[in-house]
Amino acid sequence: MRWLRFAVIVIVAMLLQAGIVDVVAIAGIKFDLLLILLVFFAVYRSAADAIIASFAIGFAADIIGSAIGPQTISFGLFGTLLASLNNIIAVRRMPYQSLVIAVVGLLAGALALLLTLFKGLPTPPHAFPVLLGTSLYSAAVGPYLFLPLLWLIDVRTHHFYRR
């Protein structure tokens, strides 16, 4: 994988997530670009690349979040699991990608909230309804972002599948 391009995409996603995504929030709920990137890299890259990308994206989510650690662990764990499952079940169609984004968003978000509680940090009010809304909103938006991401990752080679 082209790691410099990956780093630029993650930094741009962090900046967009921290500021501009608020503009398209619906009832205070916004989609999660980093969750979408997590599923994208777990689906379209090799397992080793996906695992490294999952932990890096989780760390990026922690940087724009409130505590270092919970997102890194939860994104890393579920990204690794998804990359391993992707060797068995290919997720190439948009409805399945939406389902995967929703499920991973719910599970990773719930684990991150649990780890935040274990750390002794306060959790936001109404955390679980916001988590559900964020996961569903991300699932609705995510598959439409996969095609531009495929183009950005493999501009020169135009290989859209695993190597």
Ordered structural domains, the chain, with CATH: 3-153 (1.10.1760)
pLDDT at 126: 87
What is the SS3 assignment for 106-144? HHHHHHHHHHHHHCCCCCCCCHHHHHHHHHHHHHHHHHH
Q: What is the per-residue pLDDT for 144?
A: 95
pLDDT in tens, 43-82: 999 999 999 999 999 999 999 987 889 999 999 999 999 9
What length does the chain have?
Answer: 163
- Compute the distance between CA of residue 9 and CA of residue 137 in angstroms, rounded to an integer: 21
pLDDT per position as a tens digit, 101-149:
999 999 999 999 999 888 888 877 889 999 999 999 999 999 999 989 9
**How confident is the model over 18-23, as a mean pLDDT?**
89
pTM, to two decimals: 0.90
Torsion (CA) 83, 88, 89, 90 in degrees, nearest 10: 70
